[in-house]
Chains A and B, each alone.
Chain A
Amino acid sequence: MHFLGSVELLSLSATSFPLLLSRLNFLLFSLSIQEQVLARMRSPFSLKQEFLKKWILGLQRCRSSKKNMSIFKRKKVIKLSADVAMASARKGTTCWSRALIADAVKEGNADKHLAEKILGPASERQPTEKVPVGAMAYNKRIRSKKILKRSSVIRRTIKCAPQAARPSSIVKTLVGKRRQILRSLIPGGEFMNGVSLIEETLDYIISLRAQVDVMRSLASASKLVNLN
């Protein structure tokens, strides 16, 4: 039905032919993105299986010789391995997965060794290693963007102080604040701009849902096993 909306727009606009072409191009491009996301949504089962496999592998790697791991440590291990497994299931295609893994193996992180253990030997970390170079440049760009944004926001607030009550500016701040919150929620969200933020959110939600489903089924299965 969204496609119909675009067609309606096309008919309304009464544009010249090249413009129509451009519109069609845009539609095709958008459709490809749609298909991508749809494909990811259609095969949650494979995603879940992959996630489970990776998770169990990571847990096995983490199994220490010490018999008494505290519950909190265990929980941390479980969660970390789950997150890393989820992120690696994406194989570096999405920004949030890369950011998650990068955060896990960051220098200042307390559980860095754990994360590295989970990730396994360096040979396995190929997809994440490739990215950092591009990511650094991207981060720089984003940081400069942010600085510019901040400065222009200051300029704009000075200019627009008397007009702050306009409804458009109210809407701007409403949406902008929420975007900030969303950015803080999603790993690596600070580096995403408008469109990619929503795409990443989509993917992140799908992955989180799969993760929750798998964990829940695992919990119920283990309960069953414990009962019997």
Chain B
Amino acid sequence: MDIGEKDKYELGKRDEHNNINYQAPVLSSDWQFGGANLTSAGMSLVPTTNPLAIGSSCASASLVDSFGSSLWEHPSNSQNMGFCDFSVQNGANSSNAMEVGKGLPNSLRSSIDRPFDMGWNAASAMLKGGIFLPNTTGILAQSLSQLPADSAFIERAARFSSFNGGNFSDMVNPFGVPEPMGLYARGVGLMQGPDDIFAVNGMKSVSVMESQKSKLDATEATRDAGLRVENRAKASPLENERKSESLMQPNEEAKQGTGGSGNESDEAEISSRDGGQDEPSALDGTGGEPSAKGLSSKKRKKSIQDAEIDRAKGGQTSTKTAKDSPENQQKQSMMINKTTGKQGSPASHPPKEEYIHVRARRGQATNSHSLAERVRREKISERMKFLQDLVPGCSKVTGKAVMLDEIINYVQSLQRQVEFLSMKLATVNPRLDFSIEALLAKDIIQSRAGPSSTLGFSPDLSMGYPPLHPSQPGLVQAPLPVIGNSSDVIHKALSSQLTSMTGGLKEPNQHSNAWEDELHNVVQMN
């Protein structure tokens, strides 16, 4: 039992280390826009002991709570599912962790589990940034002296330097890497490479100093990660849009991947796509992740130079197939604008050009998320907003899938109503003779549309119609108020109304004659 407890406690230690690892990004992101002193924080986290870990976990829990909706909702929304799947597939690992949690005192467990959940999401979010970092650092060999400014990476690197090389494997295992996290495992494996270099450089102070310097010097991935963090931190109204975009992006990606047929993409398009990547990095930040995750595996298999070529080719093949001509022209004009813009101001933005270059290499994601793709996504989101206004009860709903559900239900209900009404009309009218009714209906429509009406009784009828307007609850209800109204009118028997009623009833006959004359004319014309 002692041994078992010891094991549990060791596992618990590892768990807390994991928590620290996960929470470090949380805290680090906080510091990033808090502008706090990174050095002290970075240093303090490294030599952690158990009580400190617990304390930090509690602190981070409070921090995370303070961030609350703005920071964690959306990533956690998108990643909670992933987390659930991880927990399902982690199997032994997670159950071990949970048992460990049970082994520890309850207070600790509750405090650790929550940040664990949050931390997991944070970690998966941050690790995406981290995955990109080693690639770029591997690419830019000369810029290794300028270490990435991402403090999450700093933390990780600090930890790596503090541990021995052998411990790195220990670090990897307790993360409980299941198959879905295979990317992460590969990313972590890749981090071993720069890890050695960083250990050599004694990066702690250097990295921190570098982080304090201008971020423009940093690699684009770090900038991206930083921007991503900043964007998440800002509780902006754009978040919903971004979230819906990020939700839409996987779908569009699927279409991208499956579209496949040869689009006549010029070199200009490729270069312009490269050039066009540094603009809304905000969108790309959130959008780059899910796609980059799927494509980063492709990246690592090839060498870096080959990767670039493949990516360019892949970008060609994966571009959307030629749609309607105005869209294509618009795309091309946009591409042309971008290329001219790039050529027009090369001198003014040399660091940006580098930036663009790096960004293009970073992943096929950026090619498939070219400007055209973004434009298309925005179009779709726009139309969906229209549909939101059109379909009743859709205003509160966000997210493509649920909205599409609502739309499908609405269309189905409308179609069913048409069926029902046609059956009803068939019963009402044995001879398919709708002339008089048609006239009445026409006037009814007119009276609904405008206040003025020729017939006397139609204002009375129109009173019955507002209940018809707002909803389509049951069609049986619809005629009843009308009939009730008319009967009331008849029963009230005001002389003017009676005369108007009878006058109105007589008028249709005259009108119907005119209508039928009109119809005959039209038929004769045809």
A residues with CB within 8 A of B: 2, 5-6, 8-9, 12-19, 21-22, 25-26, 29-30, 33-34, 37, 41, 44-45, 48-49, 52, 56-57, 59-63, 67, 69, 71-72, 74-75, 77-79, 82-83, 120-121, 123-124, 141, 144-145, 148-149, 152-153, 156, 160, 162-163, 165-172, 174-176, 178-179, 181-182, 185-186, 193-196, 198-199, 201-202, 204-206, 208-209, 211-228
Known: A56-B434, A152-B257, A208-B418. A224 touches B408 (CB 8 A): no
At the interface, is chain A mostly helix, strand, loop or mixed? helix
Q: Does B254 contact A (CB under 8 A)?
A: yes
Contact with A along B404-440 (1 / 0, CB 8 A): 1101101110110111011111111111111111101
Q: Which B residues are CB-close (under 8 A) to A71? A: 423, 426-427
* B421 and A215 contacting across the interface, CB-CB below 8 Å: yes
B residues with CB within 8 A of A: 78-82, 85, 88-89, 179-180, 182, 237-238, 241, 247-255, 257-261, 276, 279-283, 290-291, 293-294, 321, 323-324, 326, 330, 333-334, 337-338, 340-342, 344-345, 371, 375-376, 378-380, 382-387, 390-391, 400-401, 404-405, 407-408, 410-412, 414-415, 417-419, 421-438, 440-442, 444-446, 448-450, 461, 468, 472, 475, 478-479, 482-483, 486, 505, 508, 519, 522-523, 526
Q: Which of A149, A176, A205, A218 contacts B434 (CB 8 A)?
A: A218
**What are the 10 closest A-B residue pairs judged by CB atoms, nearest first?**
A221-B440, A18-B337, A18-B341, A168-B250, A165-B85, A178-B404, A45-B449, A13-B280, A222-B437, A74-B426
Q: Which A residues are CB-close (under 8 A) to B434? A: 56, 59, 218, 222
Q: Which A residues are CB-close (under 8 A) to B423? A: 71, 75
Task: Give CA–CA (A208, B179) in the complex, Å.
Answer: 48
In the complex, how many residue pairs between chain A and chain B have their CB atoms under 8 Å apart?
A: 317
Q: Which A residues are CB-close (under 8 A) to B251? A: 171-172, 175-176
* A186 and B411 contacting across the interface, CB-CB below 8 Å: yes
Q: Which B residues are CB-close (under 8 A) to A37? A: 386
Q: Which A residues are CB-close (under 8 A) to B280? A: 9, 12-13, 15
Q: How many whole Å from A104's CB to the nearest CB in chain B?
A: 15
User: Could you give 23 example pairs across A and B, Cβ below 8 Å?
Assistant: A16-B344, A22-B371, A26-B378, A29-B330, A60-B519, A69-B432, A71-B426, A71-B427, A79-B422, A145-B261, A148-B259, A148-B260, A172-B251, A174-B401, A195-B380, A205-B391, A208-B411, A218-B438, A220-B478, A221-B441, A221-B444, A222-B428, A223-B483
Task: Give CA–CA (A54, B352) in the complex, Å.
Answer: 61
* B440 and A224 contacting across the interface, CB-CB below 8 Å: yes
Q: Which of A60, A152, A222 contacts B425 (CB 8 A)?
A: A222
